[in-house]
Chain A
């Protein structure tokens, strides 16, 4: 049974045809990655799923429920949350306030407090800095906060847009380990990455995007072995 289903998605920026019929699906418990060059439409796909962009054509469903017509804040309530590109934490808010904004759609106090503790065990650094203004965190800590903030909404599907961007190699490894960990705890992940090498190592399946179309799809192993993919995205 598919969890997130995207069918024949067409998105325009004014006159520019950015997505030309994207079809993809994510099954429960999977890590699926979307790889491709700059401007291929990876972020556009995520933004459309999140409800920030309106598709001109196509369907987006979560367990059969239509998402395409919902405004962004209702998509979150349905269980699809995004960690946006470039982290975009609320720099003037404290770490704790950032996390509580992640839980904005929820009302059960106990559940929220429990999740807060879980996130603090996942990222002990955030616990140390919970009262600190988030803008003063390092890049790696900000990425942890961005992921923690998204997890606070108890998502069924976590959308990650370039989580490794701008981070030191050590931190990149750490972030990918974290994503695997989160997935093992039961959250389904749709991961957009330019770092195709790392992404294909942790994902079960992948899609290759090229100028707004799915050029290739398959299991991560097959994609890693594919000559075209190796040449274009894995450096030989």
Chain B
């Protein structure tokens, strides 16, 4: 009973993160050339695309889901996203670039919860942009993973490439030796010669929430 209570206690404190995607199958990194991994990945991912997806926002034990539509242009660093409930009622619509963000529409209840627009823009940039490390990033091989570490905004950004196709599976940001956020990419799929992750989970440890994204349709 004590063990059971302990486990329940840990679950209550840490929160349960449901991962509705298949885990990446890891392969040894022994003879793999890191620069080749980056080049292959760079060639494989689309530069400009539109997609329909579902988003689940989880805060503690609260879960809210929505439909989303996004246009991403990695070349210019610009994006436009809209969220709506499954019945089709629009919840938010924003667009932005590398720096700024424009609020086209945010439902009153959402805009009242802090700076929703900026937070959403920041999460979009973390998920969909800067998918490759800078040329001077430090390279490490750890078993079945290849890590690229680089200084970023007063902290350290770590890219992890793994799996049979050696694709980006994680982006993690540390500051003051503490993990601030992590983006995990799951189940890469191929369409018209381009690859994209079918599932994405962003954990924002600083603010204690997660976003789970499932791609439904994508167009390049």
Q: Check if A and B associate.
A: no
Identify the A interface with B (CB < 8 A). none
Identify the B interface with A (CB < 8 A). none
